Amino acid sequence: MFAKVANPTAAFAPGSAELQVQLRRAERSKKIWALVLIAPLFLFLAVTFVVPIARTLFLSVENPELRDMMPDLAAALQAWDSDGTPPDSLVRTFAADVLTAHENRTLARVGKRLNFSISGFRSLLLKTARRMPPQDSPDLLAELTALDKRWGERRYWAALKQASTPYTVEYLLAAVDHQFNPDGEIVEKPPERSIYLTVLARTAWISFVVVTICLFLGYPIAYLLATIPTKYSNLLLLLLLLPFWTSLLVRTTAWLVLLQNQGVVNDLAIWIGLWDEPVQLIRNRLGVYIALVHIMLPFMVLPLFSVMKGISPTHMKAAASLGATPITAFLKVYLPQTLPGAGAGILLVFILTLGFYITPALVGGPSDQMLSQFIAFNASTAVNWGMAGALSLLLMVGVAIFFSIYSRLVGVRDLRLG
Amino acid sequence: MKLRQLSTVLAVSVAAGFGGTISADAADTITVTSWGGSYSESQRKAFHEPFMAETGKTVLEDEWNGDLARVRAMVDTGNYQTHVIDAESGQLVAGCDEGLWEKIDYTALGFGPEDFLEGAAHECGVGNISWSFVFAYDKDQFPDGGPQNWADFWNVEKFPGKRGLRKSPKWNLEYALVADGVPLDEIYEVLGTEEGLARALAKLDELRPHVLWYETSAQPPQLLADKEVAMSSAANGRIYTAIVNDGQNFEIVWDSQAMDFDFWVIPKGHPEADLALEFIKFASRPERMGDQTNYVSYGPLRTAAVEYVNPDILPHLPTAPDNTVRWFKTDTQFWADNRESLTERFNVWLAQ
C-alpha cells in the first residue's frame, strides 16, 4: 500500500521528501489507531486463551515438587549417577530432608508426585518419616531397608532421581503409553497399563465416523434448504438451529430417555412388532454415534447451505441442455462447486468431535470413552495436572497433524465457513 | 426459617467481607463449615441450634466442597475463616498427612476411641456420621425374593437382569473380591497384591456382559426406577430418599456394606481451637448424634448414640445393628496410595 503511493510521488522532485514524511506520518497514525482498536480483543485472547493454554502445556513438563520441597535431596540426586546402590551421603541427605519435609507437612505433596512414578510411594515416604531410624546409625540404608524392604530396590531411588530434574518428560511419555525403567531408558508400558494410544485412535475413529454420517445426512438437507422457496427454508433452518439453542446436557439426557431399554423408541418398536426384546440402542457405540451426529449436524449443514445458496440453478440447466444426464450434471457441475462447503463442514465437525467428552460419557459404554474424558479425569478428579497437560498436548498434536494433512489435501484457503 | 437462613448467610458474607477473620474478641461466635443442603440442615437442627440455646454463643454456617487448597490458604496465612469443618475421610487423611488439621485431644473431650465405631475416632478428626456404599434392587422385579449378598449380585442365572455399577475402580474391586469369597478383613490386603487385583478383575469379567456402568451418584435410583437395571450399587442415602420421598419399591442389601465416615476437623493452628473443641464435644453427645437421625438417614458413629436414634429411620442407617452384621470400612489410606494405579488398570480393563 505504502510502496504504491511512494513510487509515483518520487517523480515530484522538490516536495517529495516532505510529502513522503507526511504520508508516512498519516499512515503511521492510522496503523496506531488500528492497533488501539484491536488491542482489547488481542488482550482478551491473550489472557483467556493463549496464556492458559501455554500454562497447561507447560504443566506437562514441569517437575517442581521435589526441588521445591526437598532442595538438598534434589541436588544430591542430581549428583548421583544412579548406578548401583545409593551412596551413604545421599541416604543421609534423604533422611534429613524427609524429616524436614514431614515437619513442614510438605511430604505428602512430594509423595503424590512420586506415586505417579511408582504406586504406593506416597505411603512409603510417610511411613518412613514416621518411623525414621536414628540419623547417626552407621548404615542408614540397611536400617531403612529393615524398616521397609522397598528401600533396597533400585527403582525407588531411580524414581526419586527422575523426580529431581527441573523438567520431566514422564507425563508426556505416559500419554503415549511409555515410561522410564530404573536405568533411565524409555520403555513401553506393559499392556495391562497401556491405554492412551488406544483411546486416541478410538477418538479419531469415532470422529471420522461421525463426520461421514453427518456428510451423508447433511448434504441432502442442505440441498433442500438451498433450493426450496425462502419462506419454507427459513422455517426449516429454524428447526435445524433449534437444538443449537438447547443445552447440550438436556439434549444428551433426552437421548437417554428416548433410547434406553424401557425408552420411547424400544417401547414403540415392540408395540408395532419390529422386534420382541428391547434392543440395546444406548450405552454403546451406536448411542454415541446417534447423539454426536445429532449435535454435530448443524455444523455440517450450515457451511454446505451457504455455499449451495450461491450456486446458480442455471448451471444445472445448462449442463442438461448440453446433454448431461442428471447424475453426470450433479457430479461434474454441482458437486465440485459445493466442495468448499463440504470441506469446511468436515473440518469443523471432525475437530469439534475430537474434543467431546460429556456426551460419550453419558450415552457411551465403557469402551466408548474419548480422550477428553481422561483429560477431565486427571484435571479434576485425580488432580494430576501434569498428566492432564500431557494428554491435552497429545490431543492438540493430533488436531495439528490432521489439520496439516487436510490442508495439504483439500486446501484450507478455499474453505467457506458460511 | 427463610429469614433466619438469610441472616446466617448475611452474617457469613459480612464476616467474609471484612477480611474473613472471625476476630479474637468474638470468642462467643463459632463458624462451622459443612456440605450444604439437607445435610447441613440436619446439623443446624441437631447441633447448631441446641448449642446456641445452651451456651448463648452464636454458630455461623459456611459451605465447602472439599477443596483442601482453601484450608491450606487459611493455615498458611493464619487467616482462619472457620473453626470446625465437616470433612470426608479422603480429606481427613490427606489433610492429616499434609498437616492441615489440629491433632484431637481426646482427654479434653472426655471420650475416646473406645466410645466410637472402629476407625471413627481419628487422631486428626472426630467421626460424626457414617454413610455407606451398598447395593439395592427393585422388589417389583423379584417377587419371589431378591438377592441377599454380593454373590447373589453376581448370580445372573438365579437373579436375571442388568446390574448397575459405578464407572470407577473404587468399591467395584472390593465387591468383586467379596463376591469371590474373600473375607471382609482381608479385602485390602488381597487387593494390594498383583494376584489379588487380577482376581478382582477376573471376577468382574464374569459380570461384564450384564453391567450397565453409571457415571454419577444420582443415577442408580433413576436406573432402578426406569427398570434399566434390576439391581445397582449406590450410596445408601440416595436409595433411602427414593424409597421415602418418591415411594419407590426398592430394597437395600446391607450385607458386606462398604462404610465410610465423615469427621469434624479443626484447621491447624487455629487460635480458638478450644472453642472448636467445645462445639465438637457438644455435637458428639449421644443424644445430639441420635437427634440428627430425625432429619437425615446417616448413622451416628458413637456407639452410645444408638438408643437415641429415631426408631423409624433405624432400619435405614448404615450403623443399625441389623445392617452391621457384615460390613467393612473403606480404606481411605489404601485408595490415597493406589488410586492412580488402580484407575489405570481398571480403565484398560473397561476398554477391552
Grid cell at residue A80: 548421583
Taking residues A383-399, report their average pLDDT: 91
Question: How many C-alpha atoms does A10 have within 13 Å on its Cβ side?
Answer: 7
Measured between CB atoms, which of B94, B97, B215 is closest to A362?
B215
Please provide the CATH number assigned to the domain covering B2-130+261-316: 3.40.190.10
d(CA B140, CA B146): 9
Characterize the bridge pairing of strands B84-88 and B163-166: unpaired
pLDDT tops 70 at residue B6:
no
Is the Cβ of B212 closer than 8 Å to some Cβ of chain A? yes
Helix (H, G, I), strand (E, B) or coil at A187: strand
pLDDT of residue A210: 97
Give the model's pLDDT for residue B22.
Answer: 43
Give the pLDDT of residue B15.
Answer: 41
SS3 for chain A is CHHHHHHHHCCCCCCHHHHHHHHHHHHHHHHHHHHHHHHHHHHHHHHHHHHHHHHHHHHCCECCHHHHHCHHHHHHHHHCCCCCCCCHHHHHHHHHHHHHHHHHCCHHHHHHHHHHHCCCHHHHHHHHHHCCCCCCCCCHHHHHHHHCHHHHCHHHHHHHHHCCCCECCHHHHHHCCEEECCCCCEEECCHHHCCHHHHHHHHHHHHHHHHHHHHHHHHHHHHHHHHCCHHHHHHHHHHHHHHHHCCHHHHHHHHHHHHCCCCHHHHHHHHHCCCCCCCCCCCCHHHHHHHHHHHHHHHHHHHHHHHHHCCCCHHHHHHHHCCCCHHHHHHHHHHHHHHHHHHHHHHHHHHHHHCCCHHHHHHCCHHHCCHHHHHHHHHHHCCCHHHHHHHHHHHHHHHHHHHHHHHHHCCHHHCCCC
Task: List Cα–Cα distances, A244 to A238, A302, A341, B168, in angstroms.
Answer: 10, 12, 20, 32
Neighbouring C-alpha atoms within 13 Å toward the C-beta of B29:
15
Q: Fill in the DSSP letter of residue B139.
A: G
Q: What is the ipTM of this complex?
A: 0.74
Q: What is the pLDDT of residue A366?
A: 82
Other beta carbons less than 10 A from residue A396's beta carbon: 15
- Whether residue A251 lies within 8 A of chain B, CB to CB, comes out as no
Chain B residues with CB under 8 Å of A382 CB are 339-340, 343
Q: Which of B94, B65, B68, B87 is nearest to B336 (CA)?
A: B94
- Distance from C-alpha of B126 to C-alpha of B263, rounded to nearest angstrom: 5
Q: Is the pLDDT of residue B259 over 70?
A: yes
Q: d(Cα B31, Cα B29) in Å, to the nearest integer?
A: 7
pLDDT digits (tens, 9 = 90+) for B110-152: 999 999 988 899 999 999 999 999 999 999 999 999 999 999 9
pLDDT at A165: 92
Distance CA B200, CA A2 (A): 75
Name the grid cell of A225: 434448504
Is pLDDT above 80 for B10? no
Residue A178's pLDDT is 94
| Chain B contact set for A117 (CB, 8 A) | none
Please, which residues bridge with residue B302 across strands? B116
- Nearest CB partner across the interface for B340, out of A107, A195, A384: A384
Residue A345 in grid coordinates:
463442514
In sequence order, what DSSP letters do the residues of B305-352 get, joined into one string?
Answer: GGGGS-TTTGGGSTTSGGGGSSEEE--HHHHHHHHHHHHHHHHHHHH-
Report the C-alpha gap between B302 and B114 in whole angstroms. 9
- Who among A108, A382, A384 is closest to B98 (CB)? A108
CATH superfamily of B131-260+322-351: Periplasmic binding protein-like II (3.40.190.10)
What local confidence, expressed as pLDDT, does residue A39 receive? 93
**Chain A residue with minimal CA distance to B222?**
A257
Contacts of residue A104 in chain B, CB cutoff 8 Å? 99
How many C-beta atoms surround the C-beta of residue A111 within 10 A?
Answer: 23
E strand or H helix at B254, and its extent? strand B250-265
Q: Given this chain, do its domains B2-130+261-316 and B131-260+322-351 carry the same CATH topology?
A: yes
pLDDT above 60 (res B20): no
Name B9's bridge partners: none
Which residue matches cell numbers 451416628?
Answer: B300
Write down the mean pLDDT value for chain B. 87
CB contact set of A53 (below 8 Å; sequence gap of 6+): none
Q: Show residues of chain A in contact with B65, CB under 8 Å.
A: none
The pLDDT of residue A278 is above 90: no
Scanning B225-284 for CB atoms below 8 A from A yields 226-228
A366 neighbourhood in chain B, CB within 8 Å: 167, 213, 350-351
Residues on chain B touching A122 (C-beta within 8 angstroms): 336-337
**Residue B324, min C-alpha distance to chain A (Å):** 30
Is residue B193 less than 8 Å (CB to CB) from chain A? no
At B207-239, the pLDDT tens digits run 999 999 987 777 899 999 989 899 999 989 889
Assess contact for A66 and A164: CB atoms under 8 A.
yes
Place of cell 461384564: B208
Reply yes or no on whether the pLDDT at B19 is more than 60: no
- Cα–Cα distance, B347 to B352 (Å, whole number): 9
Report the DSSP pairing between strands B299-300 and A186-188: unpaired
Whether the predicted pLDDT of B24 surpasses 80:
no
User: C-alpha grid cell for residue A66?
Assistant: 521435589
DSSP 3-state of B105? coil
**Grid cell listed for A382:** 485425580
| Portion of chain A with pLDDT greater than 90, in percent | 55
Distance CA B138, CA B117 (A): 31
- Which helix (H) or strand (E) segment is B76 a member of? helix B68-77
Task: Report the distance separating Cα B298 and Cα B37, nearest Å.
Answer: 14
Nearest chain A residue (CA) to B208 = A366
Sign, CA torsion A280/A285/A288/A291? negative
Contacts of A367 (CB under 8 A, 6+ apart): A202, A285, B350, B351, B352
Are the C-beta atoms of residues A303 and A418 closer than 8 Å to each other? Answer: yes
Residue A205 vs residue B351, higher pLDDT: A205
Any idea which of A13-17, A205-209, A322-326 has the lowest mean pLDDT?
A: A13-17
For residue A84, pLDDT beyond 90: no
Instruction: Characterize the bridge pairing of strands B29-34 and B327-329.
Output: unpaired
Taken as a whole, chain A contains a residue count of: 418
Q: Are A362 and A287 in contact (CB under 8 A)?
A: no
- Domain ranges within chain B, ordered by starting residue: 2-130+261-316, 131-260+322-351
Digit-coded pLDDT (tens) for A94-127: 999 999 998 887 888 899 899 888 888 988 998 8
Judge whether A256 is closer than 8 Å to chain B, CB to CB: no
What pTM was computed for the model?
A: 0.79
